[in-house]
Structure 1
Amino acid sequence: MCAEKETGSKKGEHLSTNDSSLSSKKALPVRSSGSGFWVSSHSSPTEKMRVCENKAKPELKWHEMPPSKSNDDSSGEKPQDADYNLPSLSDEIETLIMARVPRSEYWKFSFVNKRFLGLLKTGEVYKIRRQIGFKEPSVFMFADGETNWCAFDQHFMHRRKLPVIPSDDIIFEYCDKESFSAGTNLFVLGQELAGAVIWRYELATNKWLKNPSMISPRCLFASATCGTFAYVAGGLDLSGGHKVSNSAEKYNAESDSWESLPPMNKKRRNCSGCYMDNKFYVIGGQDDVQKDLSCGECFDEKTKEWSLIPDMLKDIPVSTAQSPPLVAVANNELYTVDASSNELKVYLKASNSWRKIGPAVPVRADARRGWGVAFKSLGNELLVIGSTSADGARRASIYTCCPDPALETLQWREIKCGTQLNPFIRNCAVMIA
């Protein structure tokens, strides 16, 4: 028996379910921006599909056929549906299964029952994911000319627009912003008329909230994430006359609080940060007399001390007109995109030097001296987003690669996400949850 289901195409058109093209087409519900729904980046126009219900029974041999019964069976028994006593899963097992489902599919669970909806809204399912070690990265981007942040899954197959940050201050709209993640929170730091402000996006509730300020509000600082913790250091002190700072802080997403760390050896702004070897690294920048710094330093949680790394950027040209160093960590190895040559280089820890890994990065970081380019770690891969032409393309291009310090070359893979983004990326953060 065949039943037809209308999905938006003209009447009389059919699409057979055994058509191989169905496997490559997705049609997910689309809600208005800010709904929290993920949308397939490769979704196709809706079509009518014919759904066939096959009620044919297994073929029996003639000697196995049961005797037929007439409608006036003398037994008086009426046909009944089979009673299958299938055991139901416990809430604990259901929750563990849910925790292993890709996060881009979570919106569907909100329609199943109230318990699943509660697991999502309270963020309990994300705590379980951390406990069982099941995590996946998501990429959050804010491109030039956009009003909303946009979130992508790690394969750029699904995307969704976040709600607009509810700041009614025009200064926040046009000021430079910094961003980082911690746990299931995205942080966007900027300035309003009243001073420095931090807006925090909660993944569980799909809402923006004003977050407690840092102990020392700052901008143009270095940041790095490790699980539910985030580290910040340096920058311009917004509470002390915009002086270059060497202070550092640590954010705990579980307690939603900031903790002061010992000060760095150097004052620096426009610097970059990363987390590697269980240490928080701060690299490059300029000091309080606008001198370019080629040194780096790292903070050890065990000893609670900073260690200076002289000439860490001696093989990387630096300039005050250049963006903060484009750095990312994959498989506990540090990489950088040289904004003067578009070369990808790996940091050799033993010799405190850098080695080139070809070919050149396909995104033109040299077009604006590193500005407008996103270079991040995406799990065990490297991610780079930006324009592929010096004069600026109409849309941003996305590339990933699986780096290996032992190799001389690597292969960059372009990702076609189906979404047009302005080629100038203002902010980008990766959330692992």
Structure 2
Amino acid sequence: MGRTQTHADSPGALAAAVHEGRIYAAGGVGIDDVTDTFEIYDIEADTWSSGPAMPTAREHLTAAVLDGKFYAIGGRTGNLYSNLRTTEVYDPATNSWEAVTAMPTARSGFGATTLGGVLVVMGGESPNGTNPQVEVYDPAEDAWFALPNLPTPRHGLGVAALGNRIYAAAGGTEPGFFYSDAVEVLTFESASFSRVSRSAETFFCNLPVVSKLLRGSVC
């Protein structure tokens, strides 16, 4: 494998996701300002290429791939008072972006994953503290709805789905450089979403099968 291309002005606080042998990287903050840069890494060829600019420049956004499309969600353009609800989607088939219904809660530094054909976001930071909200985007309806809040509001957390559960790991409990070792789990009746799943059948709970994160706790 050859030497990976790099950029002198590569940004930080960007968002990335992988799909069919490619890594999509969007936004971030560089030396001068936030960026709308969208770049695509071909894993097999070990090369980067520039995609169409993201419509809204931002950093501390989150991203996920759902049904073959790359979603860039939220983020900010400066301090926490510039948090965004913006949700934009890149379609590789058309090599273009479009805006969809905005996320209900403006936030930055949050996590996202997909499960059962929907996009799930949770956590983040805002001017009034860390975010507990868990919100779901259903592309079939172009609509968002709410799920139970995080028991421990956090930003900079890791979020991943496995089976019928979504795991929220670590993150800071206050805006800025704070840390935690909490692991919390959102459980569904199944790994398939439906209108029924938006009710009491979804819940956060302690699960004995979930190991502690280092010396942390579960829920």
Q: How far apart, CA to CA, are the structure 2 residues paired with 1:285 and 1:214?
A: 22
The aligned counterpart of 1:57 is none
Q: How far apart, CA to CA, are the structure 1 residues paired with 2:114 and 2:9?
A: 27
* TM-fit CA distance, 1:372: 4.5
* TM-fit CA distance, 1:296: 1.6
Q: 1:266 to 1:344 in 2, by over 3 A?
A: closer
The aligned counterpart of 1:222 is 15
- Answer with 1 or 2: which has the greater Rg: 1
Query: What amino acid is aligned across from residue 89 of structure 2 in structure 1?
Result: C
How high is the TM-score relative to the length of structure 2? Answer: 0.73
**Residue 174 of structure 2 corresponds to residue 384 of structure 1:** no
Q: How far apart, CA to CA, are the structure 1 residues paired with 2:70 and 2:19?
A: 9
Q: 1:394 to 1:274 in 2, by over 3 A?
A: closer
The aligned counterpart of 2:185 is 399
Query: What amino acid is aligned across from residue 378 of structure 1 in structure 2?
Result: L
* TM-fit CA distance, 1:399: 2.5
1:281 to 68, 71, 94: 71
Q: How does 1:27-46 map to 2 (within 5 A)?
A: none
The aligned counterpart of 1:64 is none
Q: 1:356 to 1:399 in 2, by over 3 A?
A: same
Query: What amino acid is aligned across from residue 166 of structure 2 in structure 1?
Result: L
Q: 1:302 to 1:371 in 2, by over 3 A?
A: same
- Cα offsets for 1:15-34 (capped at 9, x unmatched): xxxxxxxxxxxxxxxxxxxx
The aligned counterpart of 1:325 is 110
Q: 1:248 to 1:379 in 2, by over 3 A?
A: farther
Q: 1:216 to 1:377 in 2, by over 3 A?
A: farther
How high is the TM-score relative to the length of structure 1? Answer: 0.40
* TM-fit CA distance, 1:251: 1.1
Q: Which runs of 5+ in 1 are unaligned?
A: 1-209, 425-433
- Cα offsets for 1:84-129 (capped at 9, x unmatched): xxxxxxxxxxxxxxxxxxxxxxxxxxxxxxxxxxxxxxxxxxxxxx
* TM-fit CA distance, 1:349: 3.1
**Residue 86 of structure 2 corresponds to residue 295 of structure 1:** yes
The aligned counterpart of 1:249 is 39
Report the 3-state secondary structure (helix = DSSP H, G, I; strand = E; otherwise coil) of the residue aligned with 1:218: coil
1:374 to 154, 158, 174: 158
The aligned counterpart of 1:306 is 97
Q: How far apart, CA to CA, are the structure 2 residues paired with 1:216 and 1:378?
A: 36
Q: How far apart, CA to CA, are the structure 2 residues paired with 1:225 and 1:256?
A: 14
Q: How far apart, CA to CA, are the structure 2 residues paired with 1:250 and 1:259?
A: 5
Residues 187 and 203 in structure 2, CA contact (< 8 A), matched pair in contact too: yes
Q: 1:384 to 1:395 in 2, by over 3 A?
A: closer
Residues 381 and 400 in structure 1, CA contact (< 8 A), matched pair in contact too: yes
Q: How far apart, CA to CA, are the structure 2 residues paired with 1:381 and 1:337?
A: 14
Q: How far apart, CA to CA, are the structure 2 residues paired with 1:244 and 1:395?
A: 30
Query: What amino acid is aligned across from residue 298 of structure 1 in structure 2?
Result: V
1:357 to 144, 147, 151: 147
Residues 165 and 185 in structure 2, CA contact (< 8 A), matched pair in contact too: no
Query: What amino acid is aligned across from residue 347 of structure 1 in structure 2?
Result: Y
Quote the sequence identity (%). Answer: 21
Q: How far apart, CA to CA, are the structure 1 residues paired with 2:179 and 2:88?
A: 37
Residues 233 and 282 in structure 1, CA contact (< 8 A), matched pair in contact too: yes
* TM-fit CA distance, 1:351: 5.0
Q: How far apart, CA to CA, are the structure 2 residues paired with 1:351 and 1:306?
A: 18
Q: How far apart, CA to CA, are the structure 2 residues paired with 1:285 and 1:267?
A: 9
Query: What amino acid is aligned across from residue 263 of structure 1 in structure 2?
Result: A
* TM-fit CA distance, 1:287: 2.8
* TM-fit CA distance, 1:219: 0.7
The aligned counterpart of 1:316 is 105
* TM-fit CA distance, 1:226: 1.5
* TM-fit CA distance, 1:411: 4.0
Query: What amino acid is aligned across from residue 98 of structure 2 in structure 1?
Result: S
Greater share of residues in helix: 1
Q: 1:384 to 1:257 in 2, by over 3 A?
A: same
Report the 3-state secondary structure (helix = DSSP H, G, I; strand = E; otherwise coil) of the residue aligned with 1:375: strand
* TM-fit CA distance, 1:293: 2.2
- Give 4+ residue runs of structure 1 displaced > 6 Å after superposition: none
Q: 1:423 to 1:316 in 2, by over 3 A?
A: farther
Q: Which runs of 5+ in 2 are unaligned?
A: 125-129
Report the 3-state secondary structure (helix = DSSP H, G, I; strand = E; otherwise coil) of the residue aligned with 1:244: coil
Query: What amino acid is aligned across from residue 122 of structure 2 in structure 1?
Result: V
Query: What amino acid is aligned across from residue 110 of structure 2 in structure 1?
Result: P
* TM-fit CA distance, 1:270: 1.2
The aligned counterpart of 1:260 is 50
Q: 1:415 to 1:226 in 2, by over 3 A?
A: farther
